[in-house]
Amino acid sequence: MARAPAPDLSVVLPSYRHAALALASAEELARYLDGTDLTWEIVLVDDGGGDFPHELADGPRGRGCLSCVRLPENRGKGAAVRAGMLAAAGRCRVYTDADLPFQLSLFPLTVEYVLGRRFHMVVGDRTLPGSRYHLKVACTRRLASFAFSRFANHLVTGGFYDTQCGFKGFRSDVAEAIFSRSVIERFAFDVEILYLALKYRLDIKRVPVVLRRNDTSSVRLARDSSRMIGDVLRIKLHQMAGHYAIEEMRDLLSQDVAEDAARLAGTPNRAR
């Protein structure tokens, strides 16, 4: 039996004890994506919360489909996103928070950048002109996010200040290569993902984001700050020990250039 073609877009929504919100978001997103010309899937990930309905079945939803990955215990947002991204089948794969915090137009825009304009990765950036984020977020959280991003930037992701925005998209081969090697399981996993993208000089498109809502944050400054700092130090140690060598990524850029050159070689030169 022939395999079904890969959907254009996979959206991964990790959840820990927010099943009702995640399911409502999946329905909202399904209605939105049905109004586009994309084929799609939504992958819900239960990070050990155990609150998703047992009768929830994988299957079609409108023009796309819905599936659920269930982790046996709570391991952290990074582990949940990793499980969802590796279970996904889309040619473009996006993860975001279960409350769909940012404008829905980011999803077809990301597909255009990844599949149409051949960026390897699309990253939401709250510091860009056109972003609207800070007015709806507590001052203490803004300051903590800024301080953590500067710390991570200094040690790992030089020149990339907004490491923690909860919207990132990938070409499928890039997603599989990065997430099969990532190890950070909690909130600092975004830093690790960006480090790997920068290490292999991926083509990254930064896009402004507009915050619609902020219902699922489980970060507690006193509890999680030391964990996040510790995870960034772990990333640095893995980096220094050479543990982030990903064979599939080494020749990725040169392969892309060769494919583009081969495609253009068969196209008449209209510049003459």
Give me the residue spans of the domains in the chain: 9-256
> What is the DSSP secondary-structure string of 67-132?
EEEEESS---HHHHHHHHHHH---SEEEEE-TT--B-TTHHHHHHIIIIIS--SEEEE-TTSTT-B
* Mean local confidence (pLDDT), 17-23: 96
Closest CA to 93 of 171, 209, 187, 36: 171
pLDDT exceeds cutoff 90 at 150: no
Predicted local distance difference test score (pLDDT) of residue 232:
85
Q: How many other C-beta atoms lie within 10 A of the C-beta of residue 162?
A: 22
State how far the Cα of 149 lies from the Cα of 97, in Å rounded to an integer: 19
% of the chain with per-residue pLDDT over 90: 57
More confident residue, 224 or 77: 77
- What pTM was computed for the model? 0.89
Q: Is the pLDDT of residue 95 over 90?
A: yes
Given its phi and psi angles, is residue 16 left (phi above 0), alpha (psi -120 to 50 degrees) or beta? Answer: beta
pLDDT in the model for residue 270: 45
Query: Phi and psi dihedrals of 142, rounded to 5?
Result: -60, -45
List C-alpha distances in Å: 31 to 27, 34, 178.
6, 5, 30
Query: pLDDT grade, residue 185 (50/70/90)?
Result: very high
Average pLDDT over residues 213-238: 75
Q: Say which residues have a Cβ less than 8 Å from residue 234's Cβ, sequence separation at least 6.
A: 183, 184
DSSP-assigned letter for residue 6:
P
Which pLDDT score, from 0 to 100, does residue 213 have? 86
Helix, strand and coil content of the chain, in percent to the nearest 5, comes to 40, 20, 40
**How is residue 22 written in tokens?**
């995640």
Is 153 a residue whose pLDDT tops 80? Answer: no
Half-sphere exposure of 180 (CA within 13 A, CB side): 14
**9-256 adopts what CATH topology?**
Spore Coat Polysaccharide Biosynthesis Protein SpsA; Chain A (3.90.550)
Q: Residue 130: what residue type?
A: G
Alpha carbon distance 252, 272 (integer Å): 32
Q: Is residue 236 predicted with pLDDT exceeding 80?
A: yes
Torsion sign over Cα 168, 7, 34, 117: positive
Alpha-carbon span 152 to 17, nearest angstrom: 29
Least confident range of 7-21, 99-113, 172-186, 214-228 = 214-228
**169 pLDDT above the threshold of 90:** yes
The percentage of residues in the chain with a pLDDT greater than 70, rounded to a whole number, is 84
State whether residue 155 is helix, strand or coil: helix
